[in-house]
Structure 1
Amino acid sequence: MAGRFLQHLRVAAVATLTLALVAACGADSYDRSDSGKNAAPAGTAYGPPGTPEGLARGAATDEAADRAAAGEVSTSERPVSTFAVDVDTASYGFARRTLLSGQRPAANTVRPEEFVNSFGQQYREPDGNGFSITADGAHLPQTHRGADDSARLLRVGLQTRGESSESRPDAALTFVVDVSGSMAERGKLDLVQHGLNTLIDQLRPSDSVAVVSYSDRASVLRPMTPVRDREALHDAIDRLKIAGSTNLEAGLRLGYDTARNGFRSGATNRVILLSDGLPNVGTTDAAPLVREIQEAAAKQITLLGVGVGSDYGDKFMEQLADKGDGYVVYVSDQAEADRVFVRQLPATVALRALDAKAQVEFDSNTVLSYRLIGYDDRALSSSDFRNDRVDGGEVGPGHSVTALYALHLRPGAQGHLADVRVRWQDPKTREPSELSQPVRVTAVDEEFGQAVAPLRVDYAAAFLAEVLRGSRYGEDVRLNDLRTIARNSGESQQVRDLDDMIGAAIGLYN
């Protein structure tokens, strides 16, 4: 067909949108009490040891007060940490593109948990649906400023079972594509079209797709259409043209209307927004759109954001996806898509868990204090954990979720360290399930250099994020040390990418 892109140009880009179809799969460093739900977020990293004994007694020393204000939590006062699971990775991808272009990413776009969750973790998969739980850890490295012998790093990992593309449920997908003037930049609409065209060729004939475009106004280029009619879908994608301003509100509203009209019972129904997230016409505040997305999500239509471009509205896209029972990924170029996503094929559009939440209850007899690194926007009260009306995160087949905690142990600590819990709802029946696993002190006794490679990579990625977002705890590490840790943690392409990022950061921050 005239105007069709050559097939070989599409091969790398398929991974971009196919990952975008993988169903997925913050917070303060502590679990807020019910009365403190609206408190300002605490700090999210790990600082010098200070005076743990004074902190445990609630002593009003300046140093203890500083540490408490920064977010390190005494287990004597608040032993439970609860947060909504999050599988977003856009922050890492956008920061990588920005650094490699010779610029500093904006601090408010850097989220440590998304850096960590961008890396493979090698967790075991569960036998059935739901999650497996992995908990391990180590001493902090000797290069970490102020870390005494009581300091530890705890890695809590959740993993879902993978699924082949043949066994997944059918999908009803509504692509909402930004064709405004800002999408003319190379690596925006061209990348979207390559990926969509190739993806159409990968979907099953029994799947269905609709295509909506928006600029000043929105229009349906193709209503919900069985993928067996591939030529009609390719034609709709090829007709995407740059024009006008960015009325994201109009595009998303029409996209959800189209998804509702084409809703398929028993299938995975999803709206996929492909945009640079920079609305300038209509509603430019995410709040009213979030309310509509929440209503649609209750009808089992989930949202996925695919962000593109060097000029990118990170916060807007994140808010939309978080409130739409979805997640957001960021893609910078076809080479990155090929490296990062092809190995995850065959991708699926199925879900493993809705409204997933994690909870870690520390034993105050062995743990003096703790800090959750990242998840700033995902904090929940302890009572929210079993309140199934409270939103959690969406996780798809073969996805992993990782949370890093920095700890102080009590002198002579041994035995029970913590209990890890995860709770989620079945995507079909909405029935809740819960799993728990105890953790012993011996799980965090490994010397850092002997810890498993993924944990060392996680540390390097998380504290790179602390440096990039200007956290006071970024001062506890040196970028050169983080780069050495990354280089000594494997030779995968993911690790080489992290090495390159830290190298670029060295030139910009040192």
Structure 2
Amino acid sequence: MFYFRRLTLFLSLFFAVGLTLSGCDTRNRNIGSPELAAGDFGRDGSYSGSEGDYYPGEEQFGDLVYNNFVNTNEDNLSTFGIDVDTGSYTFGRKKINEGQLPPPASVRVEEYINYFRQDYPPPDDNPFAVYVDGARSPFRGDEFHLLRIGLQARNVIDNTKPWNLTFLIDISGSMTSRLDLVKQSLYILIDEMREGDLISVCTYAGGVRTILPPTSLSDADRESIKGMIGDLQAGGSTAMASGLQNAYQINREGFLPDGVNRILVCSDGDANVGPTSHDEMFELIRSYVEEGITLSTLGFGQGNYNDYGMEQLADMGNGNYYYIDSLTEAARLFTEELVGVMEVIAKDVKVQVEFNPEAVRRYRLIGYENRAIHDDDFKDETTDAGEIGAGHRVTALYEIELVDGVSGDVGTVHLRYKQPSGHTDIPLDVVIPRHAVTAEFDQASRRFQFTAGVAEFAEILRESPYVNTRFADVEAIVENAVSGGDDRDVEFLELVRRTMRID
């Protein structure tokens, strides 16, 4: 299968370069000293940060590839797995806020889009609802339209499922300048956990340690656990594989059959010692996923940062990838997004858009290049794909060229997904009527316009050959569509303006 081959290739490359892999209510919390964070945002979207988390080395990203236009009379099926990661956006935001354009290969358009809220109503009964709309493209003339496909996951009604979380903290030498932000981020998460949840803490550098075995928060006070984390100091090499093996074993000791069992890896992804082969590591991660233990990654730092490795580890572990560029972002992730991070409501979510060749001449999926699935694997129940958490929203944009004078439907969105503990795909189909995509751009919803601006911004940064738009054009669209009550929107508008000054 395509997805298996992609993961195997990732592990091979990871080793070839010497990187051996061996929404909740907020409460008052003690999160340490905010001035130690790597950067923070003001209410107006302004950013104050430093480059103090830089460590010399080579940043690593996946291959820079672009989805091409496809003629529907040659192939009218577009198939991919969903993605709710956002690490690419927050990594790029950090670069821009410190006066640099992010490397094109670091920009994954879907992660820029999916960082922001959408206007999709939550479903009533199903795990998620599917929405389609569109409008004429403001960027490519009258020839093209933008099609938006949105998935909105239901919110958790009964948030009583217990959590068994293992913090795996990289305390190698390269983490020295990043460790304060790691600690403060985890303090926030500890404060958001509930009594009865299990927490364990492991570290790795040249060797591995278990700082805290699985412990119920009703048996140990939060401040003492924060103190254990606060005492950590960085130094030494990076035995990531051994650290992962130990973390899985520790999490298994506290395994909750009806709970969330999750490892959270806090690292810059830079690994340099360890005896385990990539085949063994792949089997290790896969075996624990099958047991019900998932893995998410939280990225920190720059200079030697391995974005590709951190993203792919989360993919293999059936978790999510996030990049923490500030204490503000940590607070958002572990308060606003926390339930969605932890509570998976559907897994192996695959999308196949079947375009009607009589209505659509050609199409281009914007982003999701490394989530592609072979069309023939869509109905294969063993095909691995993305997970979606409670309250998560997922958006995909297509550029399409419509056939003039035809009134037929544009196509159909086919979805297949499994229940969190299920093994059988559940199908869901939604028709895309032509009238849903033919509005003028200024008649589309403000959220649609804002999303189009975000996507175009990311396309410019990644130097897409299909884009010849100026940042100033993006600024005008975003400024018109921004929601003044949404701090993420306000920050993004300021980010576009900062980019214009760099460019």
Task: State the TM-score bracket (shorter-chain normalisation).
Answer: 0.7 to 0.9
Aligned-partner SS, 1:212: strand
CA separation of 1:102 and 1:199: change in aligned 2, threshold 3 A: same
Aligned-partner SS, 1:256: helix
**2:9 is the alignment partner of 1:9:** no
Q: Specify the alignment match of 1:400 in structure 2.
A: 393
**2:410 is the alignment partner of 1:387:** no
Q: Specify the alignment match of 1:177 in structure 2.
A: 169
State the shift of 1:318 in Å.
0.7
Deviations 1:156-212 (A, max 9, x none): 001111126x62411111110111122121xx2212212323322321222111110
Give 1:493's match in structure 2, choosing from 487, 495, 502.
487
CA separation of 1:283 and 1:379: change in aligned 2, threshold 3 A: farther
**2:433 is the alignment partner of 1:440:** yes
CA contact (8 A) 2:198 2:214 kept: yes
State the AA in 2 paired with 1:157: G
Deviates more, 1:336-345 or 1:128-137: 336-345
Q: Specify the alignment match of 2:74 in structure 1.
A: 77
**2:148 is the alignment partner of 1:126:** no
Q: Specify the alignment match of 2:229 in structure 1.
A: 237
State the shift of 1:10 in Å.
4.9
**2:136 is the alignment partner of 1:139:** yes
Q: Specify the alignment match of 1:507 in structure 2.
A: 501
State the shift of 1:85 in Å.
0.8
**2:293 is the alignment partner of 1:271:** no
CA contact (8 A) 1:150 1:411 kept: no
**2:144 is the alignment partner of 1:151:** yes
State the shift of 1:288 in Å.
5.4
**2:372 is the alignment partner of 1:372:** no
State the shift of 1:362 in Å.
0.5
Aligned-partner SS, 1:149: helix
State the AA in 1 paired with 2:393: S
Q: Specify the alignment match of 1:31 in structure 2.
A: none
Q: Specify the alignment match of 2:66 in structure 1.
A: 43
Q: What is the number of residues matched between the two proteins?
A: 445
Q: Specify the alignment match of 1:428 in structure 2.
A: 421
**2:208 is the alignment partner of 1:212:** no
CA contact (8 A) 1:290 1:320 kept: no
CA separation of 1:422 and 1:9: change in aligned 2, threshold 3 A: same
Q: Specify the alignment match of 2:218 in structure 1.
A: 228
Aligned-partner SS, 1:9: coil
Q: Specify the alignment match of 1:280 in structure 2.
A: 272
Q: Distance in 1 between matches of 2:121 and 2:94?
A: 31
**Identity score, percent:** 36
Q: Distance in 2 between matches of 1:190 and 1:503?
A: 30
TM-score (norm 2): 0.83
CA separation of 1:343 and 1:429: change in aligned 2, threshold 3 A: closer
CA separation of 1:286 and 1:409: change in aligned 2, threshold 3 A: farther
Q: Specify the alignment match of 2:191 in structure 1.
A: 201
Q: Which runs of 5+ in 2 are unaligned?
A: 1-27, 39-62
State the shift of 1:431 in Å.
3.8
Instruction: Report the RMSD for the aligned CA atoms in angstroms.
Output: 2.4
Aligned-partner SS, 1:365: coil
State the shift of 1:439 in Å.
0.9
State the AA in 1 paired with 2:191: D
State the AA in 1 paired with 2:489: V
CA contact (8 A) 2:189 2:334 kept: no
